[in-house]
Chain A
Amino acid sequence: MKQKPGKNMVIYGSGSLVSRLTQSGLIDDYLIFVNPVVLGQGKPLFKDPEDRHKLKFINTKTFSNGVVLLHYELLTM
């Protein structure tokens, strides 16, 4: 699918899918929105204890509501 002509493919939410595709090395870029809130409990994005990845930092963008967008690429370890 990635080899075929076309635009980018985007995953929203879908923690388990992100985890599976990350482990298979299929994710190219992560765009993570950090909201200015501490919840204390909830559903973690990275919850698999085997998830251990180094990322390459690309850039950040700060929105007027205090949300920070972090852009990373997955580095293969």
Chain B
Amino acid sequence: MRKIIVSEFYTLDGLMSDTQDKMEWVLGIFSEDVGKYEDDLYDNADTLLLGRVTYKIFENYWPQAATNPSTDKGDIEMAHKINNLMKIVFSKSLQKVEWRNSRLIKEINPEEIRKMKQQKGKDMLVVGSANIVQQFANLGLIDEYHLLLHPVVLGSGKPLFKNVKDRHNLKLIKTNTFKNGVVGLYYEPDKKAKEAS
């Protein structure tokens, strides 16, 4: 079965972006091994599941980045990958999506998502998109969480898990430390704890 993997750049105070949806705290210390992690993650995926805000940021950047001479080499490679992936955008307010291989869905239907997970294919990724993470977590649709914990406290910004209902017990799969001081925390939902509660 294909997995739904949530991969997030994360701060020590539990935020996934600043108040302007910017992530300077990531770009300032980005290192090659974080790039390698992302390359591997995207190589094992064929679909991105996105919320409106992250989709718009991506749609404004990646399509032109593939051909823009000022794009750095690593980003050009990523641009080709991400432009080729299937993008599914969940939004009630967006009217249309213009990025290649993208599709707009107005409502999250958990049965449809479960069917997609049964279909053949590579993993499906959720990046950024805090609202989607929260709704998918509430619906029990997420198979793995990758939290790339950056050595920074932002104070204010967008929390990743704000509207998560109930308590979600997780099971630590592994950790790793990147050269720039980012700690990768990898979890899956703890199904046993859920059954016991």
Contact = CB atoms under 8 A, between A and B. Distances in A.
A44 interface: yes
B155 A49 contact: yes
Contact of A57 (B13, B14, B151, B169): B151
A60 B175 contact: yes
A62 B172 CA distance: 9
A51 interface: yes
Contacts of A48: 155
A60 to B, nearest CB: 6
The SS class assigned to the B binding surface is loop
Contacts of B169: 36-37
B185 A38 contact: no
| Chain A: number of interface residues, binned into ranges | 20 to 34
Of the candidates B12, B149, B168, the one having the most CB atoms from chain A within 10 angstroms of its own CB is: B12
Interface in A49-63: 49-57, 59-60, 62
A54 B152 contact: yes
Contact of A49 (B156, B163, B167): B156
B170 A37 contact: yes
Interface string B126-145: 00000000000100000000
A57 B170 contact: no
Contact of B155 (A50, A57, A66): A50
Contacts of B12: 32, 46, 55, 70, 72
A66 B171 contact: yes
A40 B13 contact: no
Contact of B153 (A38, A39, A46, A67): A46
12 contacts: A36-B170, A37-B170, A38-B167, A38-B168, A39-B167, A40-B168, A46-B12, A54-B151, A56-B151, A62-B172, A66-B171, A72-B12
Given A32-B12, A38-B167, A40-B161, 11 more contacts: A36-B187, A37-B168, A52-B153, A53-B152, A54-B151, A55-B153, A57-B151, A57-B181, A57-B182, A62-B175, A68-B185
Interface of B: 12-14, 137, 149, 151-156, 161-172, 175, 177, 181-183, 185, 187, 190
Interface of A: 32, 34, 36-40, 44-46, 48-57, 59-60, 62, 66-68, 70, 72
The 4 closest A-B pairs by CB, nearest first: A57-B181, A40-B164, A66-B172, A51-B155
